[in-house]
Structure 1
Amino acid sequence: MPRSVWAVVPAAGRGTRFGGDVPKQYLEVAGRSVLEHTLRALLSHPDVAGAMVALAPDDSRWPGWTSLCGKPVLRCDGGGERADSVLAALRALPPSVPGDALVLVHDAARPNLAASDVGRLIDAAMESPDGAILAAPVRDTLKRADGAGCIDATVPREALWRALTPQAFRRDALVHALESARAVGVAMTDEAMAIERAGGRPVLVEGREDNLKVTTPADLRLAEFLLSRRSPG
């Protein structure tokens, strides 16, 4: 029986690091915008009941979706920082989504999400009091630089992981964690960091390496290749 999980997608960013006039979530890749691929990847999973997208208040490129894959797509105004957008989206979820419901937070610019990863993440988060995140073990050798740009040390990579998304937490727990961090001016780079700060220990779920985030033009070209190889629809 499908479980009712909502997705939150912060998409209020301007994509300044990518460059160009079009925010990266609206760039076309493999026949659709990056954001549409992202939403379809989430909503095509049977356990995901709907999506709340946090947009910039002056976003004129939003195509006005109210549903995709036969499921509701809602929008709300996001904020200046990622955490602000996530918090706004969590607060804007329908009243039918209870405080203990599991919510997936996923980057708008990660269009190549695999359904198998979503399923395993939900399974792990359902069993964990502190939620779970998709992540990938660090496989490259890591170097720490000194002030002159030379190698200062080689950092052991054992036990190091790269955080991916989605990240899955109970709605109220994540709201409280984000509110607490904002109240003292602590910037959150991802949702797990807020939960960790509140004393939680989210579970790491190994995800696919091709769940890439589009940050540069080279990433967009790789996403085009990966998405073109996926099954239609």
Structure 2
Amino acid sequence: MSPCVVIIPAGGSGSRFGGPVPKQFSLLGGVPLLHHTLRIFDAHPRISRIYPVLSAPPEALGLDWPFSSERVQPLACAGPTRAQTVLAALQTLQPLHAPDTWVLVHDAARPCLSRTALDHLIHTLQDDPLGGLLAIPLNDTLKRQNDHHACVAATLDRTGLWLAQTPQMFRLGSLIEALCAHPAATDESSALEAAGYAPRLVMGESTNLKVTWPADLRLAQAILGVRHAHRSRI
């Protein structure tokens, strides 16, 4: 299998979160949320390098950094959008990795990705010519808001709709080309879709939540606590 590297965009301000620090640096069980996310990949034998993409070096941000400098290598090239941040990281890495290198892009604010889901993604896509993403089918009824008030304008057909998650796993060369051509893409898959490709949907898990609001931190803490208790009993 081609090598796997991970890019974690972590330069955003987290404006919707509304905390005193960007949400990726908020404490989860006394540890910055970003550190939980990094440890998921740092413990995986198929991952050769992890590149958190920050707005400045960790020391300039006042971050404690308990990671191997060889395996986890911060990049201080975050841009104003996710697509610009990922593209800047890819262009930095392009001289260091072959075009067929697998790149897994993962949200800094998804600290509950399980080893099972990560293994499933890598195993499913390792021989795929393009790549794909973790996602789950949309089970809830979907409503569209009207233009003027928070009232229902319509109920939408959810048939065939999936909720996109991360990691999203694509080849370095094709991902650079897609993001260069489609800089307004909201995620990596949408850039590849706009380039005419059909990324593969890989079944994820509902516990792979993205921390968006302060209450999500409590839910993430509960998920991680249950997993820790389970491991302790084994």
| In structure 2, C-alpha distance between the alignment counterparts of 1:120 and 1:22, rounded to whole Å | 33
Q: Which residue of structure 2 lines up, in the alignment, with residue 138 of structure 1?
A: 138
CA distance in structure 2 between the aligned counterparts of 1:94 and 1:228, rounded to whole angstroms: 38
Partner of 2:75: 75
- How many residues align? The count is 227
**Is the deviation greater in 86-95 or in 136-145?**
86-95
* Counterpart residue number, 1:46: 45
Contact between 2:11 and 2:78, CA under 8 Å: does it hold in 1?
yes
User: Aligned residue for 2:173?
Assistant: 172
CA shift in 2, pair 1:224/1:66, >3 Å: closer
Identify the match of residue 210 of structure 2 among 190, 209, 213: 213
- Structure with the higher strand share, 1 or 2: 1
How much identity, in percent, do the aligned residues show? 42
Tell me the C-alpha RMSD between the 2 structures: 2.1
In 2: Cα distance, 1:124 partner to 1:194 partner: 21
The answer to whether structure 1 residue 61 and structure 2 residue 58 are counterparts is no
Task: For 2:67 and 2:95, locate their aligned partners in 1 and report how far apart those are by CA, in whole Å.
Answer: 17
| CA drift at 1:169 | 0.2
3-state SS of the aligned residue for 1:213?
Answer: coil
Matched position secondary structure for 1:75: coil
How far apart are 1:192 and its partner, in Å? 0.3
Residue identity opposite 2:44 in structure 1: H
Counterpart AA for 2:204: G
SS in 2 for 1:132: strand
| Alpha-carbon offset, residue 200 of structure 1 | 0.8
- In the other structure, the counterpart of 1:195 is 192
In structure 2, C-alpha distance between the alignment counterparts of 1:83 and 1:146, rounded to whole Å: 29
With structure 2 as the length reference, what TM-score do the two structures score? 0.89
Asked if 2 retains the 8 angstrom alpha-carbon contact of 1:196 and 1:202, the reply is yes
Greater shift in the superposed pair: 86-95 or 150-159: 86-95
Structure-2 change in CA distance of 1:62 and 1:90 (3 Å): farther
Give the residue type in structure 1 aligned to 2:63.
W
Aligned equivalents of 1:202 and 1:143: distance in 2?
26
Per the alignment, residue 227 of structure 1 pairs with 224
Task: Identify which range, 127-136 or 98-107, moves more after superposition.
Answer: 127-136
- Give the alignment of 1:80-159 within 5 angstroms: 80-93=80-93, 95-149=95-149, 150-159=151-160
The equivalences for 1:11-26 within 5 A come to 11-26=10-25
**Displacement of 1:224 after TM fit?**
1.2
Stretches of 4+ aligned residues off by more than 4 angstroms: none
Match for 1:229: what amino acid? V
- Once the two structures are TM-superposed, the CA of residue 95 in structure 1 deviates from its matched residue by 4.2
| TM-score, with length taken from structure 1 | 0.90
